[in-house]
Structure 1
Amino acid sequence: MRRLSDRLTPVLLDLDGAFEDQGVLVEEALAAGGDQVAARDLGPALRLWSRPPALDALRDRLSRAAPSGPSLVFTGSGDFHHVSPLLIERAIAASWSGPVTVLHFDNHPDWVRFENGLHCGSWVGRAARLPGVAKVVTVGVCSRDVERPTPKGAHLDLIEDGRLEIYPYRAPDGGPALKVGSVTRPTVESLGEAAFVDLLAARIETDAVYVTIDKDVLRTADAATNWDQGRTSLSFLEAMLTRVLDEHRLIGADIVGDWTRPRYGGGLTAAVLKQAEALLDQPWTAPADAVRQVNEGVNRRLLRLFVQMAA
């Protein structure tokens, strides 16, 4: 049964120019009562990873320029996924009425440790420990980041105490399940998509839910990002969202995963380190223009779905 959500305001957070070529998305977001927040001056210092001053500057910008109520925030590249804890904090503050489950769709677990700031691969640990968050449920991982998690600095304590559940689309070894520590979870592929939708709905035990989507969870036919792509189809993502949002109260959401040409900042040393890290972790070849254009269509479909389900 539908738990009525508050009105959801679309917000285009411009950190990297992702919406310059997405004019129809901008029009639809504004027509739905949305807002635009200019923050491209903060983007280079925030991109890939951020120190506290850059995060504080974004927090201040959001407090002054973004609507205070429940929002659907588009933030551009997945290099900015570590902005999500700030957005989750705002959503809880605006709509607090009990514990919240963070539903996280991603090709990567984003669960490692990162000192003195946040990394786009480290934010899940921060989100899971926010006041009011019951747990994070991560869906769709296909990357090998889940292999040998201990030397990579993963937050395995969150797995063990049930505050983080990971359901890969396909396990790195091709098996039917993923074992992390003492916990084993089935893969989407082993269960079948229809059965997994039922499982996912059962694992969200709170009335309230916050959704965060990195479009690199999608297969290459459905998105083009700055990272490697997963195996989830857009239609399957929509099926999972529809089921969850039909049964729970949505307090907010964010979407990352557009491809944008990176500009790194935060000081000369930080910019050099970020560029070196990107060369090691990200594809070297940019997607063709025609391939990148699919992102706007995906954003528009997700915009309509969220707005309709929250109505």
Structure 2
Amino acid sequence: MPIVTVQDFTGVYAEQPFIQGLRESAATDKNIHWFDCTQVDGTDCYCDDEAQAILLQQIESVGNDSFGIHFFDNGNYHYMSKLWTDQVQEPFDLVVFDHHPDMQPPRFEGILSCGGWIKEVLDHNKFVQNVIVIGVADHLVEEIREDLSQANSAEILNRVTFIRESELNSFGKDPSASPLWASLRMTLPCHISIDKDALSTAEAATNWDQGSLTYDQLAETLQILAQNRKILGIDICGERARDIGFEDTATADALNNALNEKLFRLLTGLHGIQ
């Protein structure tokens, strides 16, 4: 059983029976940790220093001695992957599933954001070797190249591989046939971060525009990674935002609940996860 951590920022997990089951188990199972973050100020999209201190205390209380699965609400909190990867103390690759590059130069120096956390990892984490971002919208790849160039930060892209959304669609039933996927078969340990907005709207309901990745493509990619690498940890975000309405919120919550449970079952059963 992996170490499981849930950091609930908005209360959205209240509508997901699977995650609520984890919450109930946390009372007696030392491998499951539940943190109510709804009263932590300074966290929505941007994470200020005081909030970071609180969140890091939570992470440190869990420890990082073994593989863990981390759930942390919707995509506005994807910067939590930066805080989790800060705990890694060995060379590793970061593999991210996201419809957005999350590498924007900061508007406010020193403020961690959901839109720029990967750049923060590349700039400041001495252990990260390469970053692979899977499912990014094609036009956003070109935009981030231009933004980083204007900010004199284009050199960090030398350590980034983008597998664009259009390239996903061309894989068919054998995505591993693409030469781009050779990067997934390298043997360096990796940390995996999944924002469910990379998935199609048939698979997940999120608060950001979504891509076209299928669950089967995601599962196959995770299996490829686990066959070749030590997995250090896996993050999962991309819930719906509670203040953004869906025509049928019950259906949206049921979709996300089912996906979270499928991912959990897959990840706990993958060979190669240590």
In the alignment, is the contact (CA less than 8 A) between 2:5 and 2:34 conserved in 1?
yes
What's the offset of the Cα at 1:152? 3.4
1:179 alignment partner in structure 2: none
Determine whether 1:16 maps to 2:10. yes
Counterpart selection for 2:92 from 73, 97, 100: 100
Partner Cα distance (2:42, 2:248) in 1: 26
- Equivalent of 1:194 in 174, 188, 211: 174
How big is the shift at 1:200? 5.3
Spell out, residue by residue over 1:113-148, the C-alpha distance to the aligned partner (whole angstroms, 9 max, x if none): 112211111011112241211111000012642233
Give the Å deviation of 1:292: 3.0
Superposition pairs of residues 128-277 of structure 1, within 5 angstroms: 128-129=122-123, 130-142=125-137, 144-149=139-144, 152-153=147-148, 155-159=153-157, 161=158, 163-170=159-166, 187-192=167-172, 194-196=174-176, 199=179, 201-204=181-184, 205-262=186-243
Aligned match for 1:109, one of 101, 107, 111:
101
- Cα deviation, residue 40, structure 1: 1.8
Counterpart residue type for residue 35 of structure 1: H
Give the C-alpha shift of residue 302 in structure 1. Answer: 0.7
Cα distance in 2 between the residues matched to 1:103 and 1:200: 13
- Mapped contact 2:101–2:144 kept (Cα < 8 A): no
Determine the C-alpha separation between the residues in 2 that align with 1:101 and 1:37: 27
Structure 2 counterpart SS, 1:140: strand
Residues in 1 aligned to 2:22 and 2:143: alpha-carbon distance in whole angstroms: 43
Contact 2:97 2:198 (C-alpha < 8 Å) held by counterparts: yes
Partner-residue secondary structure (3-state), 2:19: helix
Give the aligned partner of residue 248 of structure 2: 288
Tell me by how many angstroms 1:71 deviates: 1.3
Aligned equivalent of 1:174:
none
What is the Cα deviation at residue 39 of structure 1? 2.0
8 Å contact 2:12–2:242 — kept in the other structure? Answer: no
Task: Identify the match of residue 37 of structure 2 among 36, 39, 57.
Answer: 39
Q: TM-score, normalised by structure 2?
A: 0.85
- C-alpha RMSD of the superposition: 2.4
Deviation at 1:151, TM superposition (A): 5.2
The answer on whether the counterparts of 1:50 and 1:118 sit within 8 Å (CA) in structure 2 is yes
- Tell me how far 1:285 sits from its aligned partner: 4.9
The alpha carbon displacement at 1:47 in A equals 1.1
Residues in 1 aligned to 2:21 and 2:178: alpha-carbon distance in whole angstroms: 35
- Structure 1 residues 202, 146: CA separation in 2 closer, same or farther (over 3 Å shift)? closer
Aligned residues of 1:224 and 1:287 also touching (Cα < 8 A): no
Q: Find the aligned partners of 2:45 and 2:213 in 1 and give their Cα distance.
A: 24
User: Once the two structures are aligned, what percentage of the paired residues are identical?
Assistant: 24
TM-score (norm 1): 0.76
Deviation at 1:233, TM superposition (A): 0.7
CA distance change for structure 1 residues 248 and 201 in 2, over 3 Å: closer, same or farther?
farther
Distance 1:307 1:131 in 2: 29
Deviations 1:239-280 (A, max 9, x none): 111111122111111000001225xxxxxxxxxxxxxxxxxx
Q: Secondary structure at the match of 2:12?
A: coil
Residue segments in structure 2 that go unaligned for 5+ positions in a row = none
Mapped to 2, the partners of 1:193 and 1:127 lie a distance apart of 33
- Say whether the 8 Å CA contact 2:175–2:217 is kept in structure 1: no
SS in 2 for 1:237: helix
